């Protein structure tokens, strides 16, 4: 409770420098891979499909040379929660979930407990799915710098600006957001320390904890918002003073260009994901 340092710990999917194949891929390719794979993962509920998908995701991790333990260590704090949730799903959700194309058989029924083949599958598949997406998301953020990520997103969204989707502006919003997180974290630390120095008891105890924490939080978060607005006003003024106009006519300092590896990765993952979606109901188990 007496530790204000946690604010410095904020890592937005810490970028880990490296020179692996995955690091060198074009950010647009990485974002696309993430999207294709996510679609494939979202559509597949069978055991086999999810095992295949997990193996593919794992091989991406190996290619990136990011230590597997590093990615998994982020899950550790939530592990008890995940396990409890999984057990609940396993024991009580028997009737809730019937995977497409299968018959849910009752495996065990005892009072409230109702385990079916459906609930077993739900638990196993959602665990596998979780791991797949965890690997993909960590890979994207661990091997791509934030500026590459936003530029990549912007580049991908720009074709849509012709149909009215403001790709450039969206990317700019993202870039401002990421830029402001550490600034506001520092401000939050200042407010917390100033309040603590004047006797605010951060970290409440007892039965009325909810009310206490809410009050403290309001006292902390309202000034944070006000500070954020003040900084926003400054930035608006600065941008308008320099006649900022976004959009299609803006030139860029860095332009991405696809390399051979980019084309190969893109096409391979696209084909693989499409196949996984196409054959989703034909998996043997």
Partner 1 sequence: MEQKGFTVRRIVIAGVLSAIAILLGATRLGFIPVPTAAGNATIMHVPAIIGGIMEGWVVGGIIGFIFGIFSFLQATIPLFKDPLVAIFPRIFIGITAYFTYVGLKRFNEYVALIVAAAVGTLTNTVLVLTMAVVRGYMAPGVALGVGITHGIPEIIVACILVVAVVAAWKRVETGRGRSKV
Partner 2 sequence: MDAGRPIIQVNDLHHRYLRGTPLEVVALKGVTMEIYEGEMVGIIGRSGAGKSTLVQHFNGLIRPRERGKVIVDGEDLADPDIDIRALRQKVGLVFQYPEQQLFERFVGDDIAFGPLKMGLPMEEVRERVREAMEMVGLDFGRFKDRYTFTLSGGEMRRAAIAGVLALRPKILILDESTSGVDPRSRKDLLGRIDALHRERGLTVIFVSSSMEDVAELVDRVYVIDDGRTVMSGTTREVFSRPEELIRYGLGVPQVTEIVHELARRGKIPFTTVVNVQEGKEVVWKILNSSAT
Looking at residues 161 to 190 of the shown chain, list those that interact with partner 1 (rule: CB under 8 A): 166, 169-170, 172-181, 183-185, 188
Q: Rounded to an integer, what distance in angstroms lies between the CA atom of residue 277 and that of residue 52?
A: 13
Residue 70 makes contact with partner 1 by CB under 8 A: no
Q: Are 178 and 197 in contact (CB under 8 A)?
A: no
177 binds, among partner 1, partner 2, none (CB under 5 to 8 A by kind): partner 1
- Scanning residues 222 to 251, which ones bind partner 2 (CB under 8 A)? 222-223, 226-227, 230
At residue 115, the 3 state secondary structure works out as strand
Number of Cα atoms under 13 Å in the Cβ half of residue 111: 2
- Interface with partner 2 (CB under 8 A), residue total 24
- In 3D space, the residue among 248, 204, 268 whose CA is nearest the CA of residue 32 turns out to be 268
Shortest distance in whole angstroms from residue 145 CB to partner 1: 15
Residue 4 makes contact with partner 1 by CB under 8 A: no
Which residues have C-beta within 8 Å of that of residue 180, sequence separation ≥ 6? 228, 231
CA torsion sign for 279, 99, 47, 123 is positive
Shortest distance in whole angstroms from residue 11 CB to partner 2: 9
Q: Which of 5, 19, 103, 285 binds partner 2 (CB under 8 A)?
A: 5
Q: Are 152 and 258 in contact (CB under 8 A)?
A: no
Q: Are 28 and 155 in contact (CB under 8 A)?
A: yes
104 binds, among partner 1, partner 2, none (CB under 5 to 8 A by kind): none
Residue 65 makes contact with partner 2 by CB under 8 A: no
At residue 283, the 3 state secondary structure works out as coil
Q: Which of 76, 162, 198, 249 binds partner 2 (CB under 8 A)?
A: 198
- Interface with partner 1 (CB under 8 A), residue total 72
Q: Are 217 and 191 in contact (CB under 8 A)?
A: no
Residue 194 makes contact with partner 1 by CB under 8 A: no
- Scanning residues 115 to 144, which ones bind partner 1 (CB under 8 A)? 122, 126-127, 129-130, 133-134, 137, 140-141
Residue 220 makes contact with partner 1 by CB under 8 A: yes
- In 3D space, the residue among 72, 116, 55, 39 whose CA is nearest the CA of residue 274 turns out to be 39
- Scanning residues 6 to 25, which ones bind partner 1 (CB under 8 A)? 6-7, 10-13
Shortest distance in whole angstroms from residue 47 CB to partner 1: 15
Find the distance separating the first CA and the last CA of the chain, reported in whole Å. 49
Residue 109 makes contact with partner 1 by CB under 8 A: no
**DSSP state for residue 254 in the 8-state scheme:** -
Closer to partner 2 by CB, 237 or 278: give it: 237
Residue 75 makes contact with partner 1 by CB under 8 A: yes
Q: Rounded to an integer, what distance in angstroms lies between the CA atom of residue 174 and that of residue 235?
A: 15
Residue 217 makes contact with partner 2 by CB under 8 A: no
Q: Write out the residues near partner 2 by the rule CB under 8 A.
A: 2, 4-5, 8-9, 187, 190-191, 193-201, 219-220, 222-223, 226-227, 230
């Amino acid at each position: 409770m007496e530790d204000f340092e946690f604010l410095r710990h904020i890592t937005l999917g810490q970028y880990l420098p490296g020179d692996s194949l995955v690091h060198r891929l074009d950010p647009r390719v990485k974002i696309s891979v993430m999207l294709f794979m996510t679609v494939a993962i979202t559509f597949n509920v069978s055991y086999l499909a999810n095992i295949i998908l997990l193996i593919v995701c794992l091989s991406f991790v190996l290619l990136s040379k990011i230590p597997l333990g590093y990615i998994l260590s982020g899950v550790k704090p939530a592990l008890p929660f995940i396990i409890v949730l999984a057990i609940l799903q396993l024991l009580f959700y028997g009737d809730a979930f019937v995977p497409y194309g299968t018959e849910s058989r009752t495996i065990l029924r005892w009072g409230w407990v109702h385990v079916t083949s459906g609930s077993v599958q739900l638990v196993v598949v959602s665990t596998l799915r979780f791991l797949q997406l965890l690997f993909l998301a960590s890979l994207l953020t661990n091997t791509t710098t934030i500026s590459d990520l936003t530029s990549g997103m912007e580049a991908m969204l720009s074709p849509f600006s012709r149909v009215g989707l403001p790709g450039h502006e969206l990317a700019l919003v993202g870039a401002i957001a990421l830029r402001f997180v550490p600034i506001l974290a520092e401000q939050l630390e200042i407010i917390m320390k100033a309040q603590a120095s004047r006797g605010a008891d951060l970290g409440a105890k007892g039965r009325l904890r909810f009310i206490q924490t809410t009050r403290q939080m309001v006292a902390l978060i309202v000034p944070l918002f006000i500070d954020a607005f003040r900084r926003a006003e400054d930035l608006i003024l600065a941008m308008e003073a320099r006649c900022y106009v976004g959009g299609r006519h803006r030139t860029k300092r860095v332009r991405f260009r696809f390399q051979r590896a980019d084309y190969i990765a893109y096409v391979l993952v696209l084909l693989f994901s499409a196949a996984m979606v196409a054959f989703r109901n034909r998996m043997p188990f």
